[in-house]
Structure formats: C-alpha cells, structure tokens
Structure 1
Amino acid sequence: MDKRKILFFDIDETLLSHKTFTIPESTKNALKKAKENGHLIFINTGRTKSLIGDDIKELEFDGYICGCGTYIEVDNKVLYNNIVNKDKYNAILESLKKYELKAVLEGVDAIYIDENSQDDFLLSNLRKQNYPIKSYDLDNMKFNKMFIRYDDNEYIDNFCDETKDIFDYIDHGKGTRELVPKGHSKGSGIDFLVDYLNIEKENTFAFGDSNNDISMLEHVENSIVMGNGNPDLFEKATFVTKNIDEDGIEYAMKYFNIIK
C-alpha cells in the first residue's frame, strides 16, 4: 500500500473565500508544503472542469475530482468522464421549459444555458467569471450535471420527480439544487482514486464546508469541516477547523501533522 497521505479539497468557502474572492496565502503555502512533504493533493468539487479557474490550476494539484464524481483526472490524464446520456437531453429540456425552471447544464468544456429565459442576475454572474458559456444545443452539447436556481418556483419537486431515474439532487437551500447523475458523488470519486492509487484508508483526508461535501466527509478516515461551514456538518467531522479567512486550512494541516 502507498503510505502517502491523500488530501481532498472542496473549492468554494473551503479554498476560495467568498468574502475576499481569493485563496488565502496561508492556504497556498500549506498546499505547497504538503506536496513538498510527499503528500497528494486533489480538488474534489461540485464544479465541472470548465468552472475551474486559473487561481485553482496554478496551485498544481495532483488531480481533480469534478462535477461531484462525474469526472476524474490525475496528472493531466482523464481517468473517468461520465456524460449524461444524450438520449435524455430533449426530455430534460422539455421538463425545464414546462416548469419554467432556470438551469445551468455543466460540462467539461462549457456550461450551457437557455439565454432566452435565463435571468439577468445569473447570467451576469456567470459572465463576470469568464466561464465558457454556450446556449442549449441538443446536437452538440455534453454535460455532466445540472444546477438549478428555482427561487420560489413551486414546481421544482415535479421536475426532480420526472428526472429521478437520471439524477439525485442536493438541496443547498436558498432556492438552489444541484442535480447529479445517479451513483455519483464526491464520495464515489474518492473511492475510485483511493483504489486507483492504492492509498491506505487511514491516510485519507477531506476538507469541506457544505451539504454537497457530506459524501466526501463520509468516505475518508479524517474529515475536516471549515469553521465557516454548515454547522449541521460539525457532528460529522473528525475535526472542525478555523474559518477559511482565519487560516483554517493551514491550522488543520498542522493539527494532523501533515505540515509543520
């Protein structure tokens, strides 16, 4: 068995502060030291690969689990890429239209939106990040998962029921849901990589903050929840660290003797 430790990191509010919209310098230094000490560092995010910014890429992770386990990459080599069956696209789009729901279809190369019905707020936020945005296209688009902002739309449960054979969903509150192909999660991505790399379970660590991190926290030996995270996750954690903006990543790595 490989004796190295393997560390999995969520992005939003774990590595990337939504207060400063930057990655704390202490986090950058801690990641660098962990690699220098011979450990493996991986992104494990709900974002698909097209939504990984240069600020993350420049930290030189050993690989990525993206789209809640639908895409896995190690050392620039794609090991797994689950795309929603194209035969289902028309039914999904028709259901979205019927219930007047605003969805972002997230793929490896681009994200897809209905520019005719999408609200200006969501569109402007996506464009501010310079994400590769394309319109719905039955013939040419490929996507791994979905994100829906439904606000007070009362039909969200109807949509989820109509697509229950395709997707599981994660309720993030505040009128948003993440729909992930059945059988996939951040946890399934961890299982795949730990097996592929032959890592001992005791050397697995996950760092997260929100509901879509639950499976990730449950599939490692050492689960770390950010102090700024959802308090409901604290009881699921091996360790609750400090807030992201209070050097929480560095603090946790020192606690587990990953770095000095």
Structure 2
Amino acid sequence: MGKRKVLFFDIDETLLSHKTFAIPESTKNALRKAKENGHLIFINTGRTKSLIGDDIKELGFDGYVCGCGTYIEVNNKVLYNNIVNKENYNAILKGLKKYKLNCVLEGEEAIYVDENAEDDFLLSNLRKQNYPVEPYDLENMKFNKMFIRYDDNKYIDSFCEDIKDIFDYIDHGKGTRELVPIGHSKGSGIDFLVKYFNVDIEDTFAFGDSNNDIPMLEHVKNSIVMGNGNPELFEKATFVTKHIDEDGIEHAMKHFNIIE
C-alpha cells in the first residue's frame, strides 16, 4: 500500500449521515481497512470533545482534533487544549444578554447554555442525545469555542464586532455561526499533527462537506469533498466523492488506493 497516509475526517455529513443518523457500514469497514493497512486516522471536527459520541469513539481513531483545532488528542493523550481565558467570560456573557443571542459554549467536558433562554431545536436535540449540557457558570465552566443560532437577530454582527479581537467566526448560513478563538481552525490542527508525526504533506488527506472544513481542505495535499457537501467547496477539492449514503468514504479511499 506504500507509505503511511494520515487521514482527517469531519463528522457531521461526512462520517455521520443526517438522513439515517448513523455511520454507514461501508464507512466503518473502510476506516478499519485503512488502519489495517498502517495508515493513521483522525477525527477533525468543529465539535468539542464533549460532543464526540460513542458511535465515533468505537471506530478506533488514532486521535482527535476537536473544536476547530482548539483541542488535540493522540492515543488518549491530550497534546493541546486551548481554553477561553476566564477574564473574557463576563464580557462574552454580557454581550450575549445585551444582544439577546442564544449561544452554546462548547467545552471538553460539557457544553454550557443559558438556562433562561427559550429552548430550541438545537438544544432539545443535544439533550435528547444525552450530551453533557450544563448552565452557564462563571466560576466552574471551561470552554473552547461557541456556537450561536441567531435566526433573524439583527445584532449578530454587533456581537461579533465586539469580540473580534478574541474570536473569528464561520457563517454556516441558516442563521447559525461558529465562533472560534483567533489562530485556530481545522487547518491549524492538521499543521500541529503533521509536525508532530513528521509527515510528508503529500501523504495527507482530508474528508469534509461544509464551510468550516475549508481550512482543513486547504492544509492537506489531497482534499476530498462529499457529494452531499456544499457545492461551493467542489472547486477546492482534489476529488469530489459520492454522497455519504452512497458509500462516499469508501469510494474515495479506493480512488486514492488507500484501501482495495
């Protein structure tokens, strides 16, 4: 199979289908075969570690890049963990209250929400899946990034402007933004691990589908976009594979001779 490759995978709509709410069996088999062939496989996700479910953990990944590069773990050892400075907590929470924004603060151990905010689909879904959801807690919470569902709230740009020295944001459309500490991205996570493992960039692969995958796709030699992904990403891809529910991961791995 040649030199060892390093493969990075987004979760939602790349590994985990939002149609079936399951990981395709062909994807599970492809990941297993890639490991058997001596390649390294990593999750690279916008989710923080607290939002990594058992269905993902059971797949035997060599490590995780979580929270858009804010947390990096290899073989159960934490190599990097950027936690938002507590000195900024008050300003962030005051800004959210001032602009009446519903925000999830995402951390390694839990996600934190405003107990007084109106429950929405996102929060209901997180609770339904038994993720660790806790109320805002200035003293005890630790978080890496934020996710805001703002719908038609016209003050979202004002909030982002207020914290622009601390956070960049990714606009996912449909009234949602992901806010990530400056200097961090899925791409920065890849750079960290490429250096850590002393990998030839020619042997790096990334699999994604959405806007927050752009830095990941740009920081590897071989960028694979799912057929169900954002069409705007297709031009950034080395290869556009099939839909997630049409064995897209397996198809791409065979195309690149990672598996047979």
TM range (shorter): over 0.9
- TM-superposed CA distance for 1:115, in Å, is 1.2
Q: Which amino acid aligns with 1:41?
A: I
Alignment-derived partner of residue 124 in structure 2? 124
Q: Secondary structure at the match of 1:138?
A: coil
Alignment of 1:41-60 (within 5 A): 41-60=41-60
Q: Secondary structure at the match of 1:94?
A: helix
- TM-superposed CA distance for 1:167, in Å, is 0.2
Alignment pair present for 1:88 and 2:71? no
Unmatched segments (≥5 aa) in structure 2: none
- TM-superposed CA distance for 1:121, in Å, is 2.8
- TM-superposed CA distance for 1:117, in Å, is 1.2
Residues 216-255 of structure 1, C-alpha deviation per residue, up to 9 Å, x if partnerless?
0000000000000000000000000000000000000000
CA distance, structure 2, for counterparts of residue 189 and residue 154 of structure 1: 32
8 Å Cα contact 1:3/1:199 also seen in 2: no
Alignment-derived partner of residue 76 in structure 1? 76
Unmatched segments (≥5 aa) in structure 1: none
Q: Which amino acid aligns with 1:107?
A: G
- TM-superposed CA distance for 1:90, in Å, is 0.4
Q: CA RMSD in A?
A: 0.9
Q: Secondary structure at the match of 2:27?
A: helix
Q: Which runs of 4+ in 1 moved over 2 A?
A: 118-123
CA distance, structure 2, for counterparts of residue 97 and residue 236 of structure 1: 38
Q: Secondary structure at the match of 1:259?
A: coil
Q: Which amino acid aligns with 2:128?
A: K
Residues 172-210 of structure 1, C-alpha deviation per residue, up to 9 Å, x if partnerless?
000000000000000000000000001110000000000
CA distance, structure 2, for counterparts of residue 102 and residue 244 of structure 1: 31
Residues 150-184 of structure 1, C-alpha deviation per residue, up to 9 Å, x if partnerless?
00000000000000011000000000000000000
8 Å Cα contact 1:64/1:73 also seen in 2: yes
Alignment of 1:8-19 (within 5 A): 8-19=8-19
- TM-superposed CA distance for 1:37, in Å, is 0.1
Alignment-derived partner of residue 200 in structure 2? 200
8 Å Cα contact 1:110/1:134 also seen in 2: yes
Alignment pair present for 1:216 and 2:221? no
Alignment-derived partner of residue 237 in structure 1? 237
Under a length normalisation based on structure 2, what TM-score does the superposition of the two structures give? 0.98
CA distance, structure 2, for counterparts of residue 60 and residue 199 of structure 1: 20
Q: Which amino acid aligns with 2:122?
A: L
- TM-superposed CA distance for 1:211, in Å, is 0.0
CA distance, structure 1, for counterparts of residue 3 and residue 195 of structure 2: 13
Alignment of 1:34-183 (within 5 A): 34-183=34-183
Residues 3-33 of structure 1, C-alpha deviation per residue, up to 9 Å, x if partnerless?
4100000000000000000000000000000
Residues 23-79 of structure 1, C-alpha deviation per residue, up to 9 Å, x if partnerless?
000000000000000000000000000000000000010000000000000000000
Q: Secondary structure at the match of 2:46?
A: coil
Q: Secondary structure at the match of 2:134?
A: strand
- TM-superposed CA distance for 1:128, in Å, is 0.7
Structure 1 residues 28-37 or 123-132, which shifts more?
Answer: 123-132
CA distance, structure 1, for counterparts of residue 30 and residue 122 of structure 2: 33
Q: Which amino acid aligns with 1:28?
A: K
- TM-superposed CA distance for 1:120, in Å, is 3.8
Q: Which amino acid aligns with 1:192?
A: F
Q: Secondary structure at the match of 2:42?
A: strand
- TM-superposed CA distance for 1:125, in Å, is 1.1
